Copies of this chain bind each other. A is one copy, B any other.
């Protein structure tokens, strides 16, 4: 399988600029063969402004906004690299369905080996479903099934409970546990801010500076350090 994915937990790490914390990973990931990157700004309302942000950051590549293309499916068909940015995951997934690009993105990534980078919401939609997003459901997509570029789910911006909080909303861990009360639910990798997952074919490696927590239905959670080989997640 030619699959190449860079799945980033968060676009911005506290105290640094947009995607600064994984700049080196991004350059290495797209490499020198990719000249143009197709940017998907569907997760934010102002697609032009968002594409400008991406252009400013990806200054060594030509960045095409998918919303600028007369035919978004054709734009995916011609893409050398794909980057789906963060924002609201429901809005993003609905727009992917509205523009009928899910099948083509999946085909390009899994069959043609086009490198796919996702950040936050863009990481959520790369997985089985958006059932483990943290976002507010501001719009309703036709269903929660996503690109399934990997056979598990991710919870980006994974957050440990704050022992000093007096807020009584469910912790992130409680929410994911509730997800696993439902039948046939896949494993969920909680990517803390600062974490990213690199997938190359059937090899998955945790990168970044923070640990990731794996939730598997009916089993205790396990934390993994940066550098861990998580390839076993790809065979489930």
Given A166-B14, A167-B159, A168-B12, CB of A136 within 8 Å of CB of B193:
no
A134 CB within 8 Å of chain B: yes
Copies of this polypeptide in the complex: 2
Given A157-B168, A167-B193, A169-B159, CB of A178 within 8 Å of CB of B138:
yes
Q: Interface size of A by Cβ–Cβ distance < 8 Å?
A: 39
Interface residues of A in 129-178 (CB under 8 A from B): 130-140, 143-144, 157, 159, 166-170, 175-176, 178
Contact B136 A13 (CB under 8 A): no
Name the residue among A131, A168, A169, A170 with the largest chain B CB count within 10 angstroms.
Answer: A168
Contact A178 B45 (CB under 8 A): yes
Residues from chain B with a CB closer than 8 A to the CB of A168 are 10-14, 157, 193
A112-137 interface bits toward B, Cβ cutoff 8 Å, 1 = contact, 0 = none: 00000000000000000011111111
